[in-house]
Structure 1
Amino acid sequence: MRLAVARLRQRLGRRGAILVILGTGKICLGAGFLAAPPTSTRGLELLTDRAPLHCWAWVWILAGSVTFAASMLPVGRDAIGFSAALVPPSVWASAYLWSTVSGGYARGAWLAGWYLTSHVGVILWAATVPEHSVPHRVVRDPGSGRE
């Protein structure tokens, strides 16, 4: 079992691991919308006027599936996973921001900020993380006997 876990960690690497986490989270959120739809969709009218919430749940699930699957792609080809991960929270943030601007839901600005920082911001940061980082070379000062 340990060997299988070690192989999986080596195959995924740092970028693949975050894609697995992001993908799983998006699938879970979408499944939650399907299993127990919220009683109020206040602030999401921009979305729910175009399609029912269960359709938007499938957007989360599809994006999560693409994100998860991209974790197995080689570094440099995993951008599709990070792009897919950005779609649902960006759409949700836009809907909440629109609900605030249009005067329908004052709390929407705070929810938009949450989606933009804790979701979109983290995904954008994770997409820039290199797979491997080389430690800085230690230069010794021959005269001091110290590093």
Structure 2
Amino acid sequence: MRAAPAQLWARLGWRGLALAISGAAWISYGASLVVQPRYGTTLGVAVLLDLMPVHAWGWGWIGCGVLCLVYCWAVPGRDLLGLAAAMTPALLWSVAYAMGGALGASPTAWGVVAPWGSHALLIAIIARVTRPRCLVVTHG
């Protein structure tokens, strides 16, 4: 009975767990943007809304979440698309809020720049710490 969770963990690991958590979070957040975007969000990311409507951005978040969930099972080193999908929406939102604050679109936008950016940074740290080891064989 204990073998199944151990096998699951051996396959997933910390890197896969980070991708799975990001995937679930991005799907949930994207769905909220599609169904009922909050006023503060649309105000904070107004610079992005000239490119696409907010519900389209929501579908982008959902797509990135699905990629995270697919790649959470990939072997480390072959999951780079999943890692990019975990980092990109958070970085994009962080930059959008920073620009929104700088341009005066939202007076409170500065308050969410660090939380969004920190998620991307944490994924980068996890990816670095759990990267696959390269074996170098020298003959001589």
Distance 1:42 1:81, change over 3 A: same
Which residue of 2 is the match for residue 145 of structure 1?
Answer: none
Once the two structures are superposed, the pairs formed by residues 56-71 of structure 1 within 5 Å of their partners are 56-71=57-72
Corresponding residue for residue 109 of structure 2: 108
Aligned partners of 2:72 and 2:79 also within 8 Å: yes
Q: Which has the larger radius of gyration?
A: 1
CA distance in 1, matches of 2:80, 2:104: 36
Say yes or no: does 1:4 pair with 2:12: no
Q: Which moved more, 1:71-80 or 1:1-10?
A: 1-10
Alpha-carbon shift at residue 104 of structure 1 (Å)? 2.3
Moved more, 101-110 or 61-70: 101-110
Equivalent pairs: percent with the same residue? 33
- Note the C-alpha offset of 1:75: 1.4
Residue 3 of structure 1, CA deviation: 4.1
1:71-110 paired onto structure 2 within 5 Å: 71-110=72-111
Amino acid at match of 2:99: W
Do the aligned partners of 1:13 and 1:131 also contact (CA within 8 Å) in 2? no
Contact 1:90–1:116 (CA under 8 A) maintained in structure 2: yes
Give the counterpart letter for 1:128 in structure 2. Answer: R
Q: 1: distance between equivalents of 2:110 and 2:123?
A: 20
Secondary structure of residue in 1 paired with 2:47: helix
| Contact 1:45/1:99 (<8 A) preserved | yes
* Contact map agreement 2:46 2:105 (CA 8 A) in 1: no
Cα root mean square deviation, aligned: 2.0
Shift, 1:2, TM fit: 4.7
Q: Distance in 2 between matches of 1:110 and 1:31?
A: 23
TM-score by length of 2: 0.83
Unaligned runs of 5+ in 1: 133-147
Task: State the match for 1:142 in structure 2.
Answer: none
Q: Do 1:26 and 1:63's aligned partners in 2 also have CA atoms closer than 8 Å?
A: yes
In the TM superposition, what whole-angstrom CA distance separates every residue of 1:94-119 from its partner, at most 9, and x where no partner exists? 111111111222311221122112x1
CA distance in 2, matches of 1:106, 1:12: 41
Query: CA 1:38 to 1:103, structure 2 compared with 1: closer, same or farther past 3 Å?
Result: closer
- How many residues are treated as equivalent by the alignment? 132
The answer for the alignment partner of 1:137 in structure 2 is none
